[in-house]
Structure 1
Amino acid sequence: MRTQLNGVDMARGRKPDLENVVPMKAEGGVPFEERCARLAADLKPFDLSEYEARVWDRIAPQLAMQERLKPHFVDTVAEYCRALMRMRSLRMTLHDEGETYTVKGRNGEQHKSRPEVAQLNETWRQWRNLTAALGLTPADERGLAAGNGDLFDNPFENLGG
């Protein structure tokens, strides 16, 4: 089915033949995805819990493919995994026990937030900072894109005169 906008055919050019696509290979003929998976496995910290390791196995190869998994970034990625699992655990606790509890005292009945609510909020802020640092959202990824310039670049150097 061809897409039309205001009566104009939007399909342009010949459709690609996906059988002709050859995966990128280098370094002894090892496919790029396999090299990235190996790098992620080699850099995986030994002290991740089972569930944190599952998050690592999902996210680290993707970061490696985008050249964002380097030995000096391992701790940042590991903390991302830990923060994500901590958030999930806190959410499960709040789901099971509720976000508030009631205390009866001399001032009558008071409704209070569980400490887990504040912990979840703080963990979410930490996780969000890590997603930004790793470029894990579309907006953050655009911010990390090459060609955005350097803080110390002179914006006027290409002007005539």
Structure 2
Amino acid sequence: MGARGVKPKPTALKVLHGDRPDRINHHEPIPPEGEVTAPADLSEDARVVWDRLAPSLIAVGVLTPWDVDAFVIVCEALARYRQATKLVNGSALLVQGPNGFVKNPALVVQREAETTFAQYGARFGLTPSDRTQLKVDAPGGATRPSAERLLS
């Protein structure tokens, strides 16, 4: 994010909008095209999340080979959130601690997983408000983003 908390405009949009040339990164790295596959060490619950979300993110070009590690964090966080939620739903919000009742530790795990998911999920546009910040090609048209593509 920028100095004022505003997310920077994607380079391709800067070119399209005619921004000053000195404000355009003409050497922005572009991830190579290639197969995006789930890592073998993904937990079983996270693999369910991957299988549900990854295909559509790959199709629109949001999930690339460079993004796999960040997306693993999204998948594991959502899996952990669901596991913690099951624990909370199966027990009480307060549990007996050494000095009386304390907040169920599963609530802490649930909150931390929710925060991680929200932070990393935003990068992939996984909520309606996050999607307003992303610019992608039409669904199924996962082409490589480049300034030249916009100007031709």
State the TM-score, normalized to the length of structure 2: 0.61
Identical-residue share of aligned pairs (%) = 29
The unaligned stretches of length 5 or more in structure 2 are 1-33, 137-152
Look up the SS of the partner of 2:90 in the other structure: helix
Among 66, 69, 75, which residue is 2:69 paired with?
Answer: 75
The unaligned stretches of length 5 or more in structure 1 are 1-37, 147-161
Among 47, 51, 71, which residue is 2:41 paired with?
Answer: 47
- Structure-2 residue corresponding to 1:139: 129
- Structure-1 residue corresponding to 2:3: none
Deviations 1:121-150 (A, max 9, x none): 11110111111111111111111126xxxx
Question: Aligned pair in 2 of structure 1 residues 75, 104: CA closer, same or farther (>3 Å)?
Answer: closer
Deviations 1:1-22 (A, max 9, x none): xxxxxxxxxxxxxxxxxxxxxx
Q: Which amino acid aligns with 1:118?
A: V
1:124 corresponds to 2:114: yes
Bigger CA radius of gyration: 1
Q: Which amino acid aligns with 2:134?
A: L
Report if the CA contact (8 A) 1:39-1:61 is conserved.
no
- Pairwise CA RMSD of aligned residues? 2.0
What is the aligned length?
103
- Structure-1 residue corresponding to 2:149: none
Displacement after TM superposition at 1:50 (Å): 2.1
Displacement after TM superposition at 1:103 (Å): 4.8
- Structure-2 residue corresponding to 1:57: 51
Report if the CA contact (8 A) 2:35-2:65 is conserved.
no
Higher relative contact order (CA 8 A, sep 6+): 2
Q: Write the mapping of 1:82-97 to structure 2, written as runs, cut at 5 A.
A: 82-97=76-91
Q: Which amino acid aligns with 1:80?
A: V
Question: Aligned pair in 2 of structure 1 residues 132, 102: CA closer, same or farther (>3 Å)?
Answer: same
Report if the CA contact (8 A) 1:39-1:64 is conserved.
no
- Structure-2 residue corresponding to 1:102: 96
Q: Which amino acid aligns with 2:120?
A: L
Look up the SS of the partner of 2:133 in the other structure: helix
Which runs of 4 or more aligned residues in structure 1 lie more than 3 Å from their structure 2 counterparts after TM superposition? 102-105
For 1:71 and 1:61, locate their aligned partners in 2 and report how far apart those are by CA, in whole Å: 13
Displacement after TM superposition at 1:93 (Å): 0.8
Q: Write the mapping of 1:20-31 to structure 2, written as runs, cut at 5 A.
A: none
